[in-house]
């Protein structure tokens, strides 16, 4: 008999990333998934749900190893090795799909032997380098294929151009035409069943309990009994109207689920900032949001990262090296590049400019918090910007200065808060339907 687990699913369609959380019938988190948001919202939802389902199956494998009595340290090593090999297989599958998409493109560059040869050489090099990306202890700038493959492809295209090979613009143009087809095709990465046993069988440390757990989990029916969508793009979600909830309600409930003592929530996402007050049940009592301008949000940091030729994840650590933050008067995305270049031309250090920018962003958030009712203990910071150490440090300083000492909660999984709240609403819907 096929094992059955009934699941509630929450999907948060943000302006930058789309997240999914899967809960079992007891409200336990089984899996999480995240992907780049796309213009095709249905595809973004499908991809992130696929990732969450894969993550859920890895969680079930971990539970199986625990029941087998393996030491926790050995479990952790086995699971890390298994997931690394699994993700490598996904990356290689997407790389093959990228090559096929480039080959199928009917562009003029295809007929140019120099460009065609250079493209093949780049893709061959990327394939050779792939195992190092997923080796034990490897640090990747991103887990999204487009980001990983795109940055390396561009680097190798630059090298080819400098060496007198194919033109850089022609090489990058071929990538740009093909990558949309690859990232919008979930089949390119393959399913859990496509890769998990191959990954297990190629592990040098063969553990019978791991193989047995993987085989059992492959047979589990993860059945979705309710789904709720939320987020910046919720109006475009491919769900019935009754399956959509306000992002304010979802972030409030999700923050309360992560930290039961939460009374004030600040969420800084890619396109908007939300200051939310909740009661002891996670029910929203008041809130304030910025307008639809991206000033003071994650999207603004993205513009700054592009101007400085850095990854968004690199901004916070660099800002933390500042010894004298620069005073920034504007966080307008329209003038982000001009203001940054002006500061650099005046001899200001990058670290000090970034520290000032982070403080300016948090000052805008503090204004929203004040209008929503202030900051009450406990205070929970969520959203993608909560992963930024400079933003966290600036927020903690300003909260202490304005409201005094209080508990500040930041979860490593804070980016999933909205999706968690949506999943909790879905679970409530499922329970009402079953009653």
- Pick the range with the lowest mean pLDDT from 8-17, 33-42, 100-109, 317-326: 100-109
What pLDDT sits at residue 290?
78
Whether 269 and 386 share a structural domain: yes
3-state secondary structure at position 19:
strand
Assess whether pLDDT exceeds 80 at residue 141: no
Residues in the chain: 435
Phi-psi region of 219 (alpha: psi -120 to 50; beta: other; left: phi over 0): alpha
Claim to verify: residue 222 and residue 156 sit in the same structural domain: no
The answer to whether residue 356 scores a pLDDT higher than 90 is no
206 belongs to a structural domain: no
Report if pTM > 0.85: yes
Give the domain range for residue 56. Answer: 1-68+214-246+418-435
For residue 341, is it within any domain?
yes
Domain identity same for 20 and 119: no
Flag whether pLDDT at 294 surpasses 60. Answer: no
Using DSSP bridges, classify how beta strands 284-289 and 379-382 pair: parallel, antiparallel or unpaired.
Answer: unpaired
CATH number for the domain spanning 24: value is 3.30.420.40
CA distance 247 to 251: 6
* 169 plus 297 within the same structural domain: no
Q: How confident is the model at residue 165 (pLDDT cuts 50, 70, 90)?
A: confident
* pLDDT of the residue at 139: 80
Residue with tokens 């999933």: 416
pLDDT above 80 for 44:
yes
> In the beta sheet, which residues pair with residue 218?
none
Same domain (yes/no): 19, 96: no
Decide if 375 contacts 260 (C-beta within 8 A): no
**Which residue reads 């690199």 in tokens?**
314
* Token representation of residue 114: 């120099």
Q: Are residues 404 and 276 in the same domain?
A: yes
201 within some domain: no
Domain count, the chain: 3
Q: What's the confidence (pLDDT) of residue 279?
A: 96
Q: What are the residues whose beta carbons fall under 8 Å from the beta carbon of 245, sequence distance 6 or more? A: 228, 229, 230, 234, 421, 422, 425
pLDDT mean over 408-413:
91
Q: What is the pLDDT of residues 80-106, one digit of tens each?
A: 999 999 999 999 999 999 999 998 876
Based on the domain organization, do 267 and 402 belong to the same domain? Answer: yes
Mean pLDDT for 320-334 is: 74
Among 188, 205, 228, which residue terminates a domain? 188
- What are the CA-CA distances from residue 146 to residues 72, 220, 304, 355, 374 (Å)? 34, 30, 20, 29, 40
Identify the weakest region by mean pLDDT among 22-26, 112-116, 189-193, 304-308.
Answer: 304-308
Does 386 score more than 80 pLDDT? yes
Higher pLDDT, 214 or 292: 214
Mean pLDDT of the chain: 87
**Two structure tokens written together for 148:** 């990983």
Residues 326 and 398 in one domain: yes
Q: Are 22 and 8 a contacting pair, CB within 8 Å? A: yes
Residue 209 counted as domain residue: no
For residues 379 and 399, is the Cβ–Cβ distance under 8 A?
yes
Q: Over the stretch 234-285, which tens digit does the pLDDT of each residue have? A: 666 667 777 899 999 999 999 999 999 999 999 987 778 899 999 999 999 9
CA 172 – CA 277 distance, rounded (Å): 47
Tokens of 281: 């049940």
- Residue 371 located in a structural domain: yes
435 and 402 in a single domain? The answer is no
Residue 402 shares a structural domain with residue 309: yes
d(CA 139, CA 120): 26
Kindly state whether residue 73 falls inside one of the protein's structural domains.
no
- Which residues, at least 6 apart from 63, have a Cβ–Cβ distance to it below 8 Å? none
pLDDT at 291: 61
Same domain, 149 and 281: no
The reply to whether 42 and 184 lie within a common domain is no
**Alpha-carbon distance 153 to 225, whole Å?**
41
Instruction: Identify the weakest region by mean pLDDT among 291-300, 373-382, 414-423.
Output: 291-300
């Amino acid at each position: 008999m096929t094992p059955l687990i009934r699941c509630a699913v929450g999907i948060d369609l943000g302006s930058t990333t789309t997240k999914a959380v899967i809960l079992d019938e007891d409200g336990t988190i089984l899996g999480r998934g995240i992907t780049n948001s796309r213009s095709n919202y249905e595809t973004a939802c499908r991809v992130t749900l696929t990732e969450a389902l894969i993550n859920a199956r890895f969680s079930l494998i971990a539970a199986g190893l625990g029941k087998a009595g393996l030491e926790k340290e050995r479990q952790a090593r086995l699971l890390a090795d298994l997931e690394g090999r699994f993700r490598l297989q996904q990356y290689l599958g997407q790389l093959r799909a990228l090559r096929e998409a480039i080959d199928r493109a009917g562009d003029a560059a295809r007929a140019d032997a120099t460009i065609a040869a250079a493209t093949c050489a780049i893709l061959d090099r990327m394939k050779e380098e792939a195992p190092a990306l997923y080796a034990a202890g490897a640090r990747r700038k991103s887990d999204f294929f487009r980001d990983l493959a795109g940055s390396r492809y561009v680097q190798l295209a630059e090298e080819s151009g400098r060496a007198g090979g194919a033109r850089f613009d022609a090489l990058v143009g071929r990538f740009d035409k093909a990558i949309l087809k690859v990232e919008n095709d979930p089949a390119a990465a393959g399913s859990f069943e496509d890769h998990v046993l191959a990954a297990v069988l190629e592990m040098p440390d063969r553990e019978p309990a791991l193989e047995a757990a993987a085989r059992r989990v492959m047979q589990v029916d993860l059945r979705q009994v309710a789904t709720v969508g939320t987020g910046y793009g919720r109006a475009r979600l491919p769900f019935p109207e009754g399956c959509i909830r306000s992002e304010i309600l979802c972030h409030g409930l999700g923050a309360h689920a992560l930290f039961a003592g939460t009374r004030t929530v600040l969420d800084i996402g890619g396109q908007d900032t939300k200051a939310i007050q909740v009661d002891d049940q996670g029910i929203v009592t008041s809130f304030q949001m910025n307008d639809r301008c991206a000033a003071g949000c994650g999207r603004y940091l993205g513009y700054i990262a592009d101007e400085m030729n850095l990854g968004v994840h690199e901004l916070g650590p660099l800002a933390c090296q500042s010894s004298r933050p620069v005073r920034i008067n504007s966080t307008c995305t329209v003038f982000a590049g001009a203001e940054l270049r002006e500061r650099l031309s005046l001899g200001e250090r990058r670290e000090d400019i970034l520290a000032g920018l982070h403080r300016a962003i948090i000052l805008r958030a503090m204004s929203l918090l004040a209008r929503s009712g202030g900051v009450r203990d406990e205070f929970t910071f969520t959203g993608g910007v909560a992963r930024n150490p400079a933003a966290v440090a600036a927020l903690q300083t300003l909260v202490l200065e304005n409201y005094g000492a209080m508990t500040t909660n930041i979860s490593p999984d804070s980016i999933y808060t909205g999706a968690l709240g949506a999943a909790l609403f879905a679970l409530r819907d499922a329970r009402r339907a079953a009653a």
